Structure 1
């Protein structure tokens, strides 16, 4: 059976030879080896062949005996034995025919949730190639409804909204997409749109005019932080921004998150995204802002105790979309930089909302972080 192992070798001469000897003692054949450089040191990725009966837990214990740490093991197929340049070139060939499949290509190529700087650079180039191809092949974009053509209605999204979500994404500007996903995200695949419309364990709210989706807010569990935190993000079509729709969507998705048992919601926001920061401030709820590398981690309390979970722990890397790997340096929070806490007026309750967007809100900016 073939396995791919990613591990950090002990920082001493002969560490790789020790790992090879340990594998050889158990009749494990090392078929390929790739070395990455990361902030923590060298990271080795091996493809090995084992006999029947080996498990991921067994292999993790084996490499630990050789002095390795931070090990991830997963089964793999024979195609991983091709050298990295060949695999990436084949991915480019497939993108020429289907540029919107970039997220699936990256998932296949990378394989691990944690990305090294080299993998981040490769993924960044692939996303740029896909974006340029998509722009070249892009046909006419269906024109959406304009402000004044109808009153937006807010409701929970379902997978049936995926096609309309893709259409809205096509109508959004480069700036809006970048602030929503933290990267340009040139195309949204139907698969990703279905995931965003009905996130596992979370909820999405769409704003619609007729059959068209013009805005969307998504909340998904942030398992790395805790089981009671939801990560939220908002995107509103450019023509409908500054109409109060972003505020309506954010309030509604926070309300739904509370119904699902969340005690706080978290937004990852670019520091220059004043619109989203004003929208969060307009909630008039107790909020904590922590500098997290190049982003702001904004935590909104849904209970009296919820901010205490975030105060005494370092900020954590946030999960980006599958199409975009996360490369985060050590955060300012983890190095001791104090957070900025804002306590707004009001009791922190999320008021009941109607299903119609209603009057314009001067704080109604649009764009947020991610899931």
Structure 2
């Protein structure tokens, strides 16, 4: 019986996946595999199913499901029924034995039609999937691999997978430092490190020195003080990653930034709080850029934040870092950052 790999873009709401599976069940199609991926426009549900020789009627039925939008279907082979983690581990083993086979491994990883080396620099926009079935994967400073798959455009999740596979074969870097240094345009230097349990009082003072407007922009509502329970969540590595920035030679924090894990696989929420006397100097942008680099190292495909539509500084930061902005109900705006793009400046250097 023919096998088909079918992708459906759906609204990220409870019950949408169940609606698609009901359509497939009504068509008496057997679901052999299912994954959820992140894309710049939302969530992509992918199904590996047994199906008819002509998938047209099935695709028409799926289009009638609530919130189902773009749908693509390509023929699959029995070889694709292999356990996916096992397949990736075998590709990684093959790459370790033959690093020169990187283009072919990336092609097989993402089931692309072809892969080829591309020399020369590429713009940040070129590093994103272009919606036409091409993906440019950075390999070092001036080389890339171009993957083509016209029938099924690449997702942000797949871009992150390709990036992780590339970094598996690049020369090993030193153990990442938990302390980083930032240098602002005005010459001010700051050290940045992960938040720990000893920072509670200092972070409470940071909140006290921020205006109500700054705290409202950070939390989306009135928050008078940082409670121990909130702080405990910031320090929990199971909930996310938090960084505190201190001016060189000072003991009081100037800013704090967070990556807060969400219930969507491969994503996290970005949040920043910058002391009022440090605002307008580029600290928020530098801290956000560092958090995006860390997100990439942790295998996250997309970072997002929701802010008031009138929060000019945050929207400016988002545009500067190449985020996609989407208006939301209630005078809000969502900014979505891809971790696989070049965020315009060199990576912050660790101590």
TM-score normalized with structure 2 length: 0.43
Between structures 1 and 2, the one with greater strand share: 2
Could you state the TM-score of these two structures normalised by the residue count of structure 1? 0.41
| Bigger relative CO (Cα 8 Å, ≥ 6 apart) | 1
